Each structure stands twice: as C-alpha cells, then as structure tokens.
Amino acid sequence: MSSALASLAVVLLVAPVLPGLIARTKAILTGRRGQPVLQLYSDLGRLLRKGAVYGTATTWMFALAPVVVLATVLCAALLLPLDGRAALIRFSGDAVAFAYVLALGRMALVLGAMDTGSSFEAMGASREATVASFAEPALFLALVVLAVLTQSLSLSGMLGSRLVPGVEGFRMAAAAPFALVAVTLFIVLLAETARVPVDDPATHLELTMIHEVMILDHSGPDLAFLLYAGAVKLALFGSILVGVVVPRASLAPWLALGLLVGGLVVVAVLIGVIESVTARLRLTRVPQLLVAAATLAALGVILVLR
C-alpha cells in the first residue's frame, strides 16, 4: 500500500520530465540545442498563475473538459500497479475500467473542442475519435494476451512478473506473445499520446493537427491541466510497457520504483528517436498502422489460445 502510494506520487511528480526528454532527444538528433528538459514545469507554473480567455461560443462544457481529462487520467493512475506489485484500486476487469475512464476524458475533450464552434477544433475532435476507434481494439487484444498469459483479469496481475527469462514461472512459449504485445502497446502508446507517426505535436499548421488543435483555444489553468494530463497519460502508458517488459514484483520497492523511472526515461528517449527519424503518416494511413498493431496482438491471442 505505502509503496503503491509512493510510486504514484513519484510518477505524478516526474511525468512532466518525459515530454522534455523527448524534445531534448529530438533536438540532439537534429543538431539543435533545444529547450531545457524541465521546461514543462516552468510552463505549468506560469500557466497556473495566469488568467484565462474563453471563446464567445463556449459554454461550461469547454471549461469542464480539462478538469475531466485530468481527473480521468489521475483515476486511471489508481488502477496501475506502478510499484510492480499491486495497484491502489484493483478488481476483476480493472483493465477495462482503465481504458473506459480514459475514454471518458476523451469524450469530454472532444465535446470541449466542438464547443468552440470552430471547424479546426472539430476537425481535430473528429480525428481523435477516429484514431481512438482503431487504437481501442488493439489495446484490448493486447490485454487479452496478457490476461491469458498471467491468468489474471486485473492489471495488477497482468503487469509485473513471470514474463522474462530467468524469472520464476517463465515459459518459453510465452516469449513470442509478449514480444508481440510489447510492440502493439508501444504503437497504442504513440496513438494515445498523440506522437509521431500518428500525430505531430510540433506541427504548426492547424489543418494537420489532431491533439494540438483540440486544445488550441484553452488557456491559463485549463491549458496547464491539459498539458499535465498529457504528460501523466504518457507516463501511464509508459508504465504499462515497462510493466510488460520488466518484471519487478520480487524486487525491493525502491529498486522497482527506480526501474520504473529508468524505464520511462528509455521510453521517452525511444519516442524522441522515432520522432526524429520518421515522418508523420498521412491521416488516411494512420488506421492502417493501428490495424497492423491490432493484427500483431491478434496473432498473440492466437498463439496463447492455441
């Protein structure tokens, strides 16, 4: 319990480092100096101390959206076994709750964007909903593989142990499905956190954005909530990935936490490398990438059900 709380606090604290790490990786690889790694902290601090401007068309929905987005991300964090052992809240089928509570945040964000009455934001909203409809089945197929391999219906059982050679209870037959799931989850992570090749957070043209254009009109504390929620969401999906790849259940709590933070840093650097070496996909191609991810996970399901 205490180690779970401590891990949650650490993850919530270090989450804003990750976008900075991605940006720094990209800067180094493209020969620029780049922003400080801790840039997001000062951005958040600045935004929280500012006032806000609201569009003339907007209603309470627009103001509510950032609150719901952040609340759902924080609640989703309660379901992940961040210390490698058990989550603060765990029950049979909490993996479903994890995906659906994030969907609640998505619904709020999309409706908030539609509330501005602007075509740009609605365009982003439409794309977000489309991308999610392809990412969701991939995520669930990956969860199915994990559930069968670990014989557990809870994220606390699915992530953690028995998955890597040398750990007690490991079966060689499980290696291939795990590799497939890891790849699928990484692609889902890129889609859910709006990174290249699904979405480009660095683009400057509203017409080509997905996530960025939805939060175009938010300002002040609202924008701070959204930016922080984005960073935490990245950390959560990163933690799932780390949970799949690195078994930490039998380690000392501080070591498990250290491995998680180290894993998150690796994930961030990896995203930075991908963003430096690949271009964004055309929007009509994005579904193909996600269907491919779902196919990999489906292959994993076939392997474990056989």
Partner 1 sequence: MTLLFSGLFLIGLGALAAWLLEGRSRASGALFQVLAVAGCALGGGAAVRVLLGTPAVQIRYHAQVLGGDWVWGLDALSAAFALAVFVVGAAAAVFGVAYLAAETRHRRVGASHAFVGLLIVAMALVVTARAAIPFLIAWEAMALSAYFLVVFDDTQAGVRRAGLIYLVATHTGTLALLALFALWGGRSGSFEFDRMMAADLSGALPSVLFGLALVGFGVKAGFVPLHFWLPEAHPAAPTHVSALMSGLMIKTGVYGLLRVITMLPGAVAPWWGWTLLLLGLASGVLGVLWAMVQHDLKRLLAYHSIENIGIILMGVGLGTLGMAYGRPPLAVLGFSAAVLHSVNHALFKSLLFFGAGAVARATGTREIERLGGLARRMPVTWIAFLIGSAAIVGLPPLNGFVGEWLLYNGLFSSALSPAATPVRFAVWGAAGLALIGALALACFAKVGGVVFLGHPRSPHGREAREVGPGFLAPMIALAILCVVMGLFPYAAVGLAWPAGALVAGLSPGSAAQIGFHAILGLRALWLFTLAIPAVAVLLWVLRALLLRRRAVARGPTWACGYAATTPRMQYTGSSFVAPLVAAYRGVVGLEVRRAPGSFTTEPIDRVLEHVLLPAWRAVLDVSARVRTLQHGRLNLYLVYMLVTLLALLVWLYAAGTGAGIRP
Q: Which of residues 158-187 bind partner 1 (CB under 8 A)?
A: none
Question: In angstroms, what is the minimal distance from the CB of 121 to partner 1?
Answer: 8
CB closer to partner 1 out of 79 and 196 = 79
Q: Is residue 220 a contact point for partner 1 (CB under 8 A)?
A: yes
Q: Is residue 222 a contact point for partner 1 (CB under 8 A)?
A: yes
d(CA 118, CA 159): 41
Question: In angstroms, what is the minimal distance from the CB of 243 to partner 1?
Answer: 18
Q: Is residue 101 a contact point for partner 1 (CB under 8 A)?
A: yes
User: Site map for partner 1, 3-42, x if CB under 8 A?
Assistant: ----------------------------------------
Query: What is the torsional sign of CA 281, 224, 106, 265?
Result: positive
Q: Return the exposure string of 34-66: e unless at least 16 CB atoms fall within 10 Å of the residue's CB, then b.
A: beebebbbebbeebeeeeeebeeebeeebbbbb
CB closer to partner 1 out of 99 and 242 = 99
Q: Is residue 79 a contact point for partner 1 (CB under 8 A)?
A: yes
Q: Which of 1, 31, 56, 204 binds partner 1 (CB under 8 A)?
A: 56
- Which listed range, 47-55, 168-176, 192-200, 256-264, lies at the site for partner 1 (CB under 8 A)? 47-55
Question: In angstroms, what is the minimal distance from the CB of 206 to partner 1?
Answer: 5
Question: In angstroms, what is the minimal distance from the CB of 146 to partner 1?
Answer: 10
Please count the residues of this chain forming the interface with partner 1, following the rule CB under 8 A: 90
CB closer to partner 1 out of 183 and 206 = 206
Q: Which long-range contacts (CB under 8 A, 24 or more apart) does 66-69 make?
A: 66/112, 66/218, 66/221, 66/222, 66/223, 66/225, 66/226, 66/229, 67/225, 68/104, 68/105, 68/108, 68/109, 69/105, 69/108, 69/109, 69/225, 69/226, 69/229
d(CA 25, CA 23): 5
d(CA 171, CA 7): 29
Q: Is residue 58 a contact point for partner 1 (CB under 8 A)?
A: yes
User: Site map for partner 1, 116-145, x if CB under 8 A?
Assistant: xxxxxxxx-xxx-xx-xxxxxx-xxx-xx-
d(CA 192, CA 207): 19
Q: Is residue 57 a contact point for partner 1 (CB under 8 A)?
A: yes
Residue type at 224 in one-letter notation: A
Question: In angstroms, what is the minimal distance from the CB of 211 to partner 1?
Answer: 15
CA dihedral of 115, 120, 123, 128, whole degrees rounded to 10: -80
Q: Is residue 225 a contact point for partner 1 (CB under 8 A)?
A: yes
